[in-house]
Structure 1
Amino acid sequence: MLVNQTSVIGRTLSVDSLRSLGVTITRIFGPEHGFRANASNGARVADETDPKTGIPIISLYGRKRKPSPDDMAAIDILVFDIADVGCRFYTNINTLYDVMEACAESGKELVILDRPNPNGYVDGPVLDMKLTSGIGKFPIPITHGMTLGEFARMINGEGWLPGKAQCKINIIPVQHYTHAMEYTLPVSPSPNLNTQQSVLLYPSLCLFEGTILSQGRGTYMPFTVLGSPELKGVFDFSFTPVSIPGKSETPLHQNQVCYGLDLRNYDISAYRKKGQINIRWMMDLYKAYPNKEKFFDKSLSKQIGDIDKLVGTTKFKEQIMAGVSEEEIRKSWEPQLTDYKLRRKKYTLYP
């Protein structure tokens, strides 16, 4: 089973549920953050043994990213059961791809226990494949509007596995689900997405990982605030990132007072109904930032990511710096975005 802390049926982990039914589980594969979600963002995760069941846990976010031939030889079926947040730069879709490749190579079936996508809309530029990386492997927009079961169908249908190999997949669908539904994850999907508000703000606020602004890592309100020490006097709201083991050990602007936006009570429903990520915050905060040459400068800190790889295009940074209107920025995402929406329809399981 490829599972983490979100793999629950009621309050019980699906591993425990299946074991209680007499299913023999020989391996647990753990993704980013580990089986119990106690590893920080991007941190390597080691192999271990689950203390409750004695089942070996093999990390797919350490020395390897996909199950080995020996791993696959020890199993009959691989069950994939992880809650996702529906974003290109959230690494669950990469893990899904890797296990599909391993299953295709070994001839084993992949059973996907599908789960709702809390960010079920489609928006953002489609990734320029010249910018592929660990935070963007597929020609899809920022919010892809699919469940992981649907995305597995797309991986097969678009021939994305090496040599256009096909993985045998068996998707257990979600009853009565539609993409228009508001859905609250019952368990935090990762240490820094610890509230429903952070999950829904994540597609917009994660883009700030490509800037000098903190998104609240190193606080207990990550991905609901934005700020920088240099915005003192511009904004009244402030927060101070600190080292938090298992969450953010060395956050950007550690132990410095950051000033900016408090989005904890922002009405998320408005732009969710629009089906759009919010790029106004990026436009407004760049305009407000006093030292603009530092805003996107990833040489200033290892915590600053590559804005081009996050957004999926080199145009966005240039547009923000040039003061291009939101309407013009959105126009530049076409026709690729509309083309993707049409392709997506072939693979959806839910209305």
Structure 2
Amino acid sequence: MICKLILALILLTSCSGAAERSGGNPGQREEQEGIVTGADQVESYVPGLEGKRVGMVINQTSIIGNTLSVDSLLALGVDIKMIFGPEHGFRQNASNGAIVRDEVDPQTGIPIVSLYGKNRKPSKAQMDALDVLIFDIQDVGCRFYTYINTLADIMEACAEYGKQLIILDRPNPNGFVDGPVLDMRFKSGIGKFPIPIAHGMTMGEFAHMLNGEGWLANGVKCDIKVVRMENYTHDLYYELPVNPSPNLNSQASIILYPSLCLFEGTIISQGRGTYMPFTVLGAPELKGQYEFSFKPVSIPGMSEAPLHRDKICYGIDLRDYDIKELHASGRINLQWMLELYKAFPEKERFFDASQSPAMGRIEALIGNDVFKKQVMDGLSEAEIRKSWEPGLSDYKEMRKQYLLYP
């Protein structure tokens, strides 16, 4: 039997840890102090793990209180046999897109299987060694953020080998819905499902959508159990307690990400190669048009070969931008894209992403082949947004049936 005293101790740590993580901003504490994540509700899922061989799909965001969930669950007697690590690795020590290799966790001795190397999903042998899997990864609510792809791969493996997947739900910091729905002609590793850029779902909700819409390979259905959060709503302004990936290293970068990641399909740097990624925009060619400047350099673990490496870039500083206002708007900001295209002197080079190793073409990022022409033709933001219909409204209606939170 699991020791009730240890269980109570873990719960106490979770509550106190949540208060400590909220920091010194009283307003922010009031907004999110009532949230209890799925992981923190150990009493609702740990008893069901007794006697089972457990695999965990986790990374550095997988915490109970202030402690990595793997350490907390081991302390509760859970028999964790294997850890599966996504992009950036289990302990966030790999750069964007870098191959992550299998290893053994030096702190626990548990084998770590990379899902961002030669394999994107667990093998039969690995699944045969487990009775149940736990998925606990913090997402940021964007189509091109790869953790939703990892979720789908894990669900397919669980369905194929008859294993249950327990999803410990966490808040979506960008819980709004906006952007064009992906034209599946442009399906890629940064866009696998017909959803808008900001999909407005938690991982638990998205898992239900994957099952319900038949989006898993061969239409399989995964046996999922979602450990729901308490006191969460999609419009809540939520500050993540742990950075979700190396280049989303601040609350500003997380809130700006749905808008600024589109620049990965252009000649404009988004600050990779600095310690302020996704909060600045610029290029060497904009010298004389903007006073603000920054210089991308090689930073191991963040960006080894950034766009415009060792060159001074001139452009826009968004570090002091009102991200709470942007969050409340529930919209992706297209004005920065329109402004910088207009300012860029060599228009034919603006959408040349060949120098950027991070993501890919603008068509893959935005999800269609009309956006580039719309920008080049000088369409307004309102005109561009109009072209997203009726797909965006249809998605919002479909999404309603899978929501677990208001």
Q: Which amino acid aligns with 1:174?
A: M
2:106 is equivalent to residue 62 of structure 1: no
**Residue 153 of structure 2 aligns to which amino acid in structure 1?**
D
2:289 aligned residue (213, 234, 240): 234
User: For 1:42-75, what per-residue CA distance to the aligned partner results, in whole angstroms no more than 9, with x for missing partners?
Assistant: 0000000000000000000000100011110010
Q: Does 1:243 align with 2:298?
A: yes
Structure 2 residue 93 is the aligned partner of structure 1 residue 35: no
| In structure 2, C-alpha distance between the alignment counterparts of 1:301 and 1:149, rounded to whole Å | 33
**Aligned residues of 1:212 and 1:304 also touching (Cα < 8 A):** no
Give yes or no for contact 1:112–1:172 (8 Å, CA) kept in 2. Answer: yes
- Give the letter aligned to residue 108 of structure 2: T
- For 1:142-157, list aligned pairs within 5 A: 142-157=197-212
> 1:339 Cα shift?
0.2
- Alignment partner, residue 262 of structure 1: 317
Q: Deviations over 1:294-325 (max 9, x none)?
A: 00023445457200000001111110000001
Which is further off, 21-30 or 266-275? 266-275
1:73-100 C-alpha deviation (Å, 9 max, x unpaired): 0100000000000000000000000000
**Paired residue for 1:100?**
155
Determine if contact 1:118/1:184 at 8 Å carries over to the other structure: yes
Partner of 2:31: none
Q: Deviations over 1:134-165 (max 9, x none)?
A: 00000000000000000000000001112211
Q: Per-residue displacement from partner, 1:235-293 (whole Å, max 9, x unpaired)? A: 00000000000010000000000000000000112232221000010000000000111
Which residue, 390, 393, 397 being the options, matches 1:342?
A: 397
Work out the percentage of aligned pairs sharing the same amino acid: 68
**What is the DSSP-based 3-state SS (H/G/I as helix, E as strand, rest coil) of the residue aligned with 2:134?**
strand
How many Å apart are 1:11 and its aligned residue? 0.9
Within-5 A mapping of 1:154-173: 154-173=209-228
**Partner letter of residue 253 of structure 2?**
S
Question: Aligned Cα RMSD in Å?
Answer: 0.8
Equivalences, count: 351
Deviations 1:216-247 (A, max 9, x none): 00000000000000000000000000000001
C-alpha separation in 1, matches of 2:164 and 2:146: 22
What SS does structure 2 have at the residue aligned with 1:214?
Answer: coil
Measured against aligned partners, the alpha-carbon deviations of 1:89-131 in whole angstroms (never above 9, x if no partner) come to: 0000000000000000000000000000000000000000000
Choose the corresponding residue for 1:327, options 382, 385, 400.
382
The match for 2:345 is 290
Is residue 306–residue 357 contact of structure 2 (8 Å, CA) maintained in 1?
A: no
Specify whether residues 304 and 53 from structure 1 end up closer, same or farther in structure 2 by C-alpha distance, changes over 3 A only: closer
- SS of the residue aligned with 1:346? helix
Find the counterpart in structure 1 of residue 138 from structure 2.
83
CA distance in 1, matches of 2:205, 2:277: 29
Q: Is 1:200 the equivalent of 2:255?
A: yes
Residue identity opposite 1:66 in structure 2:
K
Q: TM-score, normalised by structure 2?
A: 0.86
Question: TM-score scaled by structure 1?
Answer: 0.99
2:76 to 13, 21, 32: 21
Q: Does the 8 Å CA contact 1:297/1:304 hold for their aligned counterparts?
A: no
SS in 2 for 1:330: helix
Q: State the match for 1:7 in structure 2.
A: 62
Which residue matches 2:269? 214
Which SS does the other structure have where 1:79 is aligned?
strand
1:33 and 1:41 in contact (8 A); partners too = yes
Unaligned runs of 5+ in 1: none
